[in-house]
Amino acid sequence: MKRLIRTAKLDQLGMTASIACAIHCAALPFFITTLPLMGLGFLAHSWVELTMIGISLIIGIWSLSSSYPKHKKVVPILVLIIGFLLIGSGHYVIHELESVLIPLGGFTIAFAHFINWKYSGSCIHR
């Protein structure tokens, strides 16, 4: 039971981190010129984005790998992979659609955590 609670907390943390990443990536193009005026110019650096992606990746792998043995559903893992593929393609392949693909990837990762959270809560634990 304690492990179930920990997995749920990881999924909630993963959803929060992924949504924060998606909002950061979606809003940054609109506010990039005003960030230095507010003392928030550091948010435009690539290390902030890579750090957010790395945290989302670590939480995603940890959360989904710890709950997969319980529910044995591969859907959350596939959705997580699709989310990171969207982010990766936005960063490195299709630069013209970066402002669409990266936030979409962040929301997709959050959705993977949501699916995992639902599966973890609906399975029977003994």
**pLDDT the model gives residue 52:** 80
CA angle 63, 86, 80 (to 5 degrees): 20
Choose among 16, 120, 106: nearest CA to 65: 120
Please state the separation of Cα 45 from the chain's center in Å: 19
- The residues spanned by each domain of the chain are 2-122
Consecutive H or E run containing 19: helix 2-31
**pLDDT the model gives residue 49:** 77
Q: Is the pLDDT of residue 126 over 50?
A: no
Tokens of 111: 């959705």
Write out pLDDT tens, residues 25-52: 666 666 656 655 556 656 556 777 788 8
Write out pLDDT tens, residues 68-110: 888 889 999 999 999 999 999 998 899 899 888 988 998 898 8
Tokens of 102: 């990266």
